[in-house]
Structure 1
Amino acid sequence: MLETEKSGFIKVFQKAEERRAKSRFDEAIELYIQAKGLCGKDNEARLSCLLALGDCYRMTGIYDKAGKSYEKAHKIAKTSSPASAPDALVGKGLTLRAMGNHREALKIFLKCQQLYEISGDSAGIAFSLWAKGGAYRIKGDLKKAIETFKKALNLFNVLKDKSGIGYSFCGLGGALRVSGRFDDSYRFYSKANRIFIRLKDTFGIAYSYCGIANARRMKGDFKGSLKYFKEAKSYYKKIGDRVSFAYTLWGEGTALKMMGNLQNAELDFRKAQKLFKLTEDERGLSYCGLSMAELIFLRGKPHRAIPLFKAALKRAKRFSFGVEIKYAKRFLHAAREGRGFPINLP
C-alpha cells in the first residue's frame, strides 16, 4: 500500500472504529466498506476490515453478510495472520449461535479456546468462554452455562477487563433468570448496567436495561419493568440491532399480557415476529409462536391455539432449543388442561 493510500485507509478506518465504539453500526459498516476499498493488496488491513464488518453485521442481525465476512477473514488469516484465525472463527460461531445453531457454535468455540490456550491469549480464552456460556444457555444446559460464565468472569477480572466483566454479568443474569433465580438475575444485570454506563457502552447499556426489565417482570413488577423495556428499545433502535430490539418487544409484550393488556401485547408480539422472520431467528420465532397462541387461547379459542402450541414445540425440537422445548410443553399441557394461563415465561 502506498503512503498516500495508507494514510487514506487509516483515516477512514479510524472513523469507522469511532462509530462502532459508539454502537453506530450502520454508519460504521459504510466506513469499513470504504476502508476495505482502500486496502489494495494489504491483507492485514483487509483482514481488520472484514473482522469489523462481521461484528457490525452480526450486531445488526444481518447474519448472512456477517458469516461471509468472517469466512473471508478466516481465509486471509490462515495464511497472512494465523494469530487472528481464532478471532474470525469465534465471530462465525457467534453468528451461528444467534441463528440457533448452538451445536455447531459450541464446536467452534471449543476449537477457538484450544487455539487461544496454545497461543497464550488470555483475552481470547475469556471471550471464547463467554461465547460458550451463551451457547450452553441456548442449548438448555443452564448448569454449564452458569459455570462457564463464571469462568469467563474470573478471567476477565484477572485481566481487569471491565467490558468483559459487564458482559459476563449479563450472561449470568440471563442464565440465572431462566433458572428461576430472579433476585440474583436482577443483581447481576444491575451491576452490569452500572459498568456499561461508566464505560459509555451503548449496546451494553441497552443489553443490561433489557435484562433488568425481564428480571423485574419475573419478580412480578410488570408495570415497573415497562420503564426499562422502553429504555432498552430506545437504545436498540439507535444502534440498529433488530434482533435485540425484537427480544425486547417480546419481553414488553409479555409484561403487557400479564397486566391484561392483550391488544398492545399482540402489537408487540407481531412486531417482534416480523423482525425474527426478517433475521431468521428461530428461537425468537419459537417465543412469538407460543405467545401468539396463548393470546388466542385467552380470547376463548382453544381449538385454534392448541395446533399453534404444537407447531412451536415442533420448531423448538427441530433446533434442539432445550429451554424452549420445556416451555412449549408447559403451554401445551396448560391448554389441554384448560387452566394455568397467562404464563410469565422467563
Structure 2
Amino acid sequence: MDPEALLSLAEYLRARSKYSEAVVTLKKALKSFSIAGNNEGGLLSSLSIADNLRMLGKFRNAIRYYHIAFEISKEMRDRKSQADSITGTGLSLRAMGLWKESLKNFRSSLEIYESTDDIEGIAFVLWAVGGALRVKGDINSAIDYFRKAGDLYRRLRDIQGEGYCYCALGGAHRVAGHYKMSHSYYNKANIIFVKLRDKFGTAYSFCGTGNSLRMMGQFTEAKSYFRSALRIYRRIGDIVSSAYTLWSMGMLYIMESRYLMADRYLNTALHYFKKTGDVRGKSYYLIARSQKEFLTGNINESRKMLNSAVHITHKWGFSIEKCHALLLLSILDQKDVKCYKEIGMHHKFKSLPCNIP
C-alpha cells in the first residue's frame, strides 16, 4: 500500500478510536515517506503518530514524535505545524502532571496561532490552557479559559470542540463543588458526542456524568455510567481515562463501605497511573486509599499515606490535591483547615469518608 493510502487508513482507524492500529499503520507510512525524502508526508505521519500515542497514554514516546514533527516543520518553515507540535508536547506534559512545563508550551503555540490568525488553533490552545490551570488548581481561571474556548468553537460552528469544552466545564465545576451545574454540562456534551458517534467523547461524558452523580450521592446511577465509560475505554485502549474512572469507582465503594471492591479498583488505577507516569494520579490514589485505611482501623498507615500525598502535591504544585490531603489530615487531628475557600472550592467535609471530587 502506498504511503498516502496508509495515511488515509490511519485516519479512518483514528476516527474509530483504534489508536494502536493507527500507530502501526502510520509508522509504515513514515518509513515510506522518509525513504522517498517526502518531508510533508513525514510531518503528517509524525504528528499523527504522536497524537495517537498520546491517546494511548504513551506520553514520553508521543513527545519524541512531536519533536520529530517540530524539526521537520522547522525545516519546511511551516509555522502552523510547529505550533501543533508544541501544543501536542504540552498536552503530553500536562497529562503527566507537569502543568508548569505544559503552560510554557501552550503560550508558545498560542503566540504562533495568533500571529497567523488561526482561530481553530487558538480555540484548542485556550481549552488546553484551561486544563493545565485545572491541574494547577486555579479553578476560576480554568473556567474562564474553557468558556473562551467554547465561545470560539461556537463561532466556528465546531460542535465537537464545543462538546469537549462542556466536558471541561463539567469537570471544573464538579471540583469547585457545583455538582448540578457539572451534571448539566456533561449531559450537554453527551448529547453532542452520541450524535457525532465520538467514542472517546461519549466515554468522557459518561465518566463525568458518573462523577457528578457520585458527588450528589446517587451511587447506583453513578456506577452504571462509570461501567459504560470503562467499556468504551477498554475497547479503544485508553488507560489514561480508565485510570481516573477506576479511581472514581474505588472512591464510590469507599463511600459504600465496600472496602475489598475499593481496593480492587484503586489498585488497578494505581497500576495505570504508574504505567503512564502520572504523579497527580498517584496522589489521588493515596488520598482515597488513606481513607480506606483509616476506616478499617489502620490509622498509622492512613497518616503515612496522607503525608506522602502532601509531599507529592507540594513538590509538583497540585493545589487542589494538596488541599484534599491537608483536609483529611486535619480531620484525623481534629483541626480546622480552610484551604478550599482560598482556591475557589465549595466543599464541606467534616468526617471520613470524604467523597473527594
- Residues 1:70 and 2:66 are matched in the alignment: yes
Q: Could you tell me how far 1:289 is from its partner in structure 2?
A: 1.0
Instruction: Select 1:53's aligned residue among 34, 49, 54.
Output: 49
Question: Which letter does structure 2 place at the counterpart of 1:345?
Answer: I
TM-score, normalization by structure 1: 0.97
Q: Distance in 1 between matches of 2:110 and 2:265?
A: 39
Q: Distance in 1 between matches of 2:68 and 2:159?
A: 30
- Residues 1:125 and 2:119 are matched in the alignment: no
In the alignment, what sits opposite 1:162? 159
In 2, are the aligned partners of 1:223 and 1:255 still within 8 Å (CA)? no
* Match runs of 1:147-158 below 5 Å: 147-158=144-155
Task: Give the 3-state SS of the residue equivalent to 2:190 in structure 1.
Answer: helix
Instruction: Select 1:220's aligned residue among 203, 217, 221.
Output: 217
Instruction: Select 2:4's aligned residue among 4, 10, 21.
Output: 10
Instruction: Select 2:332's aligned residue among 317, 332, 335.
Output: 335
- Residues 1:174 and 2:171 are matched in the alignment: yes
* Match runs of 1:182-221 below 5 Å: 182-221=179-218
Task: Give the 3-state SS of the residue equivalent to 2:32 in structure 1.
Answer: coil
CA RMSD of aligned residues (A): 1.1
Can you list the C-alpha shifts for 1:77-132, whole angstroms capped at 9, x where unaligned?
Answer: 11212221000000000000001110111121122112101101000000000000
The 4+ residue runs of structure 1 with deviation greater than 6 A are: none
Instruction: Select 1:34's aligned residue among 2, 23, 28.
Output: 28
Q: Distance in 2 between matches of 1:234 and 1:83?
A: 36
Can you list the C-alpha shifts for 1:194-238, whole angstroms capped at 9, x where unaligned?
Answer: 100111111001111000000000111111100000000000001
Q: Distance in 2 between matches of 1:246 and 1:83?
A: 33
Instruction: Select 2:246's aligned residue among 238, 246, 249.
Output: 249
How many residues were matched structurally?
Answer: 340
In the alignment, what sits opposite 1:315? 312
Task: Give the 3-state SS of the residue equivalent to 1:340 in structure 2.
Answer: coil
Unaligned runs of 5+ in 2: 336-349
Q: Percent identity?
A: 38
In the alignment, what sits opposite 2:277? 280
Q: Could you tell me how far 1:142 is from its partner in structure 2?
A: 0.4
Q: Could you tell me how far 1:259 is from its partner in structure 2?
A: 1.3
Question: Which letter does structure 2 place at the counterpart of 1:165?
Answer: E
Q: Distance in 2 between matches of 1:85 and 1:165?
A: 24
In the alignment, what sits opposite 1:4? none
Q: Distance in 2 between matches of 1:239 and 1:103?
A: 29
Q: Could you tell me how far 1:336 is from its partner in structure 2?
A: 2.1
Can you list the C-alpha shifts for 1:236-268, whole angstroms capped at 9, x where unaligned?
Answer: 001111111010000011111111111101100
